[in-house]
Amino acid sequence: MPRRIVVVEDNRADVFLIRESIEGAGIDARVDVVHDGEKAIQIFEQIDADTCEPCPALVILDINLPKRPGREVLSHIRRSRRCPHVSVLVVTSSDSERDRSDMSTLGVRGYFRKPSDYDDFMKLGAIVKQLVCTD
């Protein structure tokens, strides 16, 4: 069974690039995408309620999301009954030191600032591979 990666990202172009980077890195994973923070929280509520539902290997999380911000989603994940230690990689356009600090405090495994260059964005695949294949 392939690993599960949950992508929480509202920008469809960025979702495309994230998928491209994962495929380009040769990662065997099922990639599930949700486009807002509320749906991301619902995924973890469902996992907590269903012991047959496995925790994802990785969550790729944007900070600026509709309905619920990334910080709130991450806080909810860390309070999850079954998946509080899931690896989370923040992928965001924010270069704010405060955002980096907040995310670090909540235990993210990495922080990737979205570049404007395609080749630089594809470097995300190597980071995802390292996180998914070492856990």
How high is the mean pLDDT of the chain? 93
According to DSSP, residue 13 is labeled H
Of 101, 100, 109, 36, the residue nearest 78 (C-alpha): 109
pTM as predicted: 0.94
Number of structural domains (the chain) is: 1
CATH number, residue 50: 3.40.50.2300
What are the residues whose beta carbons fall under 8 Å from the beta carbon of 133, sequence distance 6 or more? Answer: 27
Structure tokens at 56: 């994802």
User: Using an 8 Å Cβ cutoff, are 114 and 93 in contact?
Assistant: yes
pLDDT per residue over 45-82, tens digit each? 999 999 898 999 999 999 999 999 999 999 999 999 99
